[in-house]
Amino acid sequence: MNIEKEIDVDKIFEKIESYFGFVPKIFQVMAEKPATLKTYYEKLETINNDDTLPSLTKEFVAIGAASAIGAENCLLTHLKVAEKFGAKQEQLLLAILMGSLIAETDALSKSLRVYENFKEQV
């Protein structure tokens, strides 16, 4: 029995679309491997259903992370979802600025450590 044939990709897509408002490209491509899509979606669903943080807060985290790593498509997707959950423009901008600040701080931290080590060798 082929497990891939038993997975209802359309049902997964319906759930994804109800959350994001569309089916992001990563899910569309993963549908070529339904078991992989199902596993990835179940992880997303588990995190989204965890009420330790409110949904909007999780979206702010996603926005900051997407900003930090330069994931433009993810950033745009999570901006839209956060807006749907009631985020204000200034909150969206702050989440981007926080994520970018962390990325900059990480780059500076690594670079300045190399610089400090370099100075000690001279």
Residues 48-106: tens digit of each pLDDT: 999 999 999 999 999 999 999 999 999 999 999 999 999 999 999 999 999 999 999 99
Q: pLDDT digit string (tens) for 14-28? A: 999 999 999 999 999
CA distance 69 to 74: 10
Looking at the predicted structure, is the pLDDT value of residue 1 above 60?
no
Cα 24 versus chain centre, distance: 11
CA distance 88 to 17: 22
pTM: 0.87
pLDDT on residue 5: 73
- 114 φ, ψ (degrees, to nearest 5): -60, -45
CA distance 9 to 29: 11
Looking at the predicted structure, is the pLDDT value of residue 116 above 90?
yes
Looking at the predicted structure, is the pLDDT value of residue 3 above 70?
no
